[in-house]
A and B are shown apart, each in its own frame.
Chain A
Amino acid sequence: FHLFFTCLRVRSFSSPPASPTKVCVVGGGPAGFYTAQSLLKGSPHIQVDIYERLPVPFGLVRFGVAPDHPEVKNVINTFTQTAQHKRCHFLGNVHVGKDITIQELMQAYHAVVLSYGAEGNRTMGVSGEGLPGVYSAKDFVGWYNGLPCNKELQPDLSHETAVILGQGNVALDVARILLSPLDLLKKTDITQNALETLAASKVQRVLMVGRRGPLQVACTIKELREMVNMPYTAPDMLPADFQHVAQALADLPRPRKRLTELIMKTLNEDHRGRQGVKRWGFRFFRSPLEVLPSADGSRASGIRLAVNKLEGVGDAVTAVPTSEVDEIACGMIISSIGYKSLPIDPAVPFDFKRAIVPNNMGRVEETTGLYCSGWVKRGPTGVIATTMNDSFDTARTILQDLESGAINVSVSRPGSSEVVPLLEKRGVRTVSFADWEKINAEETKQGTAVGKPREKLLDVREMLAVAWT
């Protein structure tokens, strides 16, 4: 039961369309679900089909949110209600762009919404980036969260120091999972595979490297507080990185001030004598120059960094390299410098520079009837609530276009009754939401047996086998 569906606002059309308005959403993550939810609420004539490549829904809520943040996943309850709405259908196991084209979808539906997020990642662009021991945060997070394509990652946790490039909330998630006591992790939905690997981990120190200074750190205070409060760990900061910060405090807005004060607090605590603790810290004013190979060239053994100075003022302050360099010896490097959207179909315009689908308020440029929401529309930043607001905005645009006639609903469209047979002819069988619920039940059952909320299935074939029993 959720408030959205107890107060459906019925929009009055001057004359109702002859047949239902069919909308197709590509992507079953937060953007897809929030867009669908808002469309269903906005008109009683709309039917929404949500297509998802995996057999399982929910996108980054399932595969991105850290296992020790289950409360963030509460939005799954809202998404479940949306999927169970009588005018909504979830169709999993459909690879849009490969099993079916965007053009075919646009013929079958009145409107198509691209909500497929960002499955690529930004690269550092330095030599040695391809060496064993170097991972993207996206893959590392996917690995501990059970994303099927990352299950063979086998990260090497046998070295003492891990360096993370980036200081955003994803970097903090990775650091926290690397350093969390097993007792806490084993009660979460982290994969068994990851749990076993972490149990054997020799990682004792995690450094998060950022190109600018403490006043520009991109993480937020809740995540930082979790690191500060982590048992059996101690902060490892360089006081030299904090010159001029104390003086700047008074003029900062409250959120930045509190965050900075919390980081500064770690400087004042003396942890030098403590034995047997793991360490975590920030290293500021550093940008990657090169990943250094081990003597036999078989893996990463360190990272060479340019030392930066800051130029400019306020939020526009930028990092400019000096001639000074620094090196950190480490056995694992994780680049957490951003996700990146990829083009889905040659028929869809794509801005390669910004890595988004070019659009105006959610209307894809040059393509009537095609829309976008979420990260593929605005870029891969922000939290679930950000995507929620963005999806509501796109839905509003679509509803406006329906009302104005910019989308022609006088012609009826077949929707999934055309798409599903077409997929079947191509050997693709869809997974319904009820099928997902069988996977959900199986995962929950396996999890309960070991004291976890769920034990995620890691293999797509296994998911399909359960879905179609």
Chain B
Amino acid sequence: MAQCLCLRSLLTPCGTRSLGMHLRIQSCLDGTKIYKWQHRQVGTCPTLCTDSKSPAASKVTVHFINQDGVRNSVTATEGESLLDVVVNKNLDISGFGACEGTLACSTCHLIFEEDIHERLDPVMDEEVDMLDLAYGLTKTSRLGCQIVVQPWMEGMTVHVPKGIKDQRELAGSKKTQ
């Protein structure tokens, strides 16, 4: 992932972020953290960092098991986040992705198979901060907005947890930031 564009200046802890942007955090091979803001473009698949030398983005089959246990198999595009996939493929998951991929909620919480989970990019503090508030958190949980579809994920199954809630309701904190 070392070819990622470094857009570190876009994010400061109390910095401004514009509406319509979503956030990806990746770690480069040299250990630096990259915060990348991308415009949400309606109907298109925003790509993350793809090597300019790589071939056209591949198609990857992903199976979603929704809250009722029903399976939806979709063809995702390499470089999309799983939140993008849910939106672009019109998967009917109530309340999914409320903050539109900006790490301000935990409603895109997804549960992965163990072997897939191990291979995912390491989770950053900012994602864990929100994951910690997710309802029905498991050891193989991640936020869909932070997981970018890669060819090696071909055929993976992700589960939508039963309740999309945020633990801050239980923590007794008053309202949103």
**Could you list which residues of chain A lie within 8 angstroms of chain B, going by C-beta atoms?**
1-3, 6-7, 9, 38, 60, 64-66, 68-78, 168-170, 172-173, 176, 180-181, 184, 187-188, 218-223, 225-226, 229-231, 254-255, 258, 336, 338-339, 380-386, 388-389, 392, 453
Contact = CB atoms under 8 A, between A and B. Distances in A.
Contacts of A381: 169, 172-175
Given A65-B176, A382-B175, A71 B23 contact: yes
A336 B173 CA distance: 11
B167 A255 contact: yes
Contacts of A169: 168, 173-177
21 contacts: A3-B96, A70-B16, A71-B104, A72-B104, A74-B20, A169-B174, A169-B175, A172-B177, A221-B129, A222-B177, A225-B126, A254-B132, A255-B132, A336-B174, A339-B175, A381-B172, A383-B175, A383-B176, A384-B98, A389-B95, A453-B18
Contacts of B133: 220, 255
B176 A72 contact: yes
Contacts of B99: 71-72, 74-75
Interface in B125-177: 125-126, 128-130, 132-133, 163-169, 171-177
A402 B171 CA distance: 35
B56 interface: no
Q: Which 6 A-B pairs have the closest CB atoms?
A: A71-B102, A382-B169, A229-B13, A255-B132, A386-B169, A74-B100
A229 to B, nearest CB: 4
Which among A3, A69, A168, A188 has the highest number of chain B CB atoms within 10 Å? A3
Contacts of B168: 169, 220, 382-383, 386
A225 B125 contact: yes
B107 to A, nearest CB: 5
Interface in B7-29: 12-21, 23
A110 to B, nearest CB: 24
Contacts of B175: 60, 64, 169-170, 339, 380-384
Contact of B166 (A9, A173, A338, A386): A386
A70 B17 contact: yes
A6 B92 CA distance: 9
B43 interface: yes
A385 B95 contact: yes
A68 B126 contact: no
Interface string B40-56: 00110000000000000
B132 A1 contact: no
A254 B176 CA distance: 21
Contact of A77 (B100, B105, B128): B100
Q: Is the interface of A mostly helix, strand, loop or mixed?
A: helix
Interface stretch (B57-65, B73-81, B83-91, B111-119): B83-91
Interface of B is mostly: loop
Nearest to B95: A388
Contacts of B12: 184, 231
Nearest to A389: B165
Contacts, number: 174
A315 to B, nearest CB: 9
Contact of B19 (A2, A77, A231): A77
B32 interface: no
Contacts of B166: 382-383, 385-386
Contacts of B23: 71
Contacts of A64: 175-176
B164 A385 contact: yes
Given A218-B171, A385-B98, A6 B90 contact: yes
Nearest to A375: B175
Contact of B92 (A3, A176, A225, A453): A3
B101 to A, nearest CB: 8
A255 B59 CA distance: 36
A184 B174 contact: no
A67 to B, nearest CB: 8
A98 B92 CA distance: 40
B173 A168 contact: yes
A219 B129 CA distance: 12
Nearest to A173: B177
A68 B174 contact: no
A109 B103 CA distance: 39
A122 to B, nearest CB: 10
Nearest to A378: B169
Contacts of B16: 68, 70, 184, 187-188, 453
B137 to A, nearest CB: 8
A77 B22 CA distance: 13
Contacts of B13: 225-226, 229-231
Contacts of B96: 3
B164 A180 contact: no
Given A74-B19, A226-B14, A338 B174 contact: yes
B177 A72 contact: yes
Given A70-B19, A231-B13, A381-B169, 5 more contacts: A72-B177, A73-B19, A169-B173, A184-B16, A255-B133
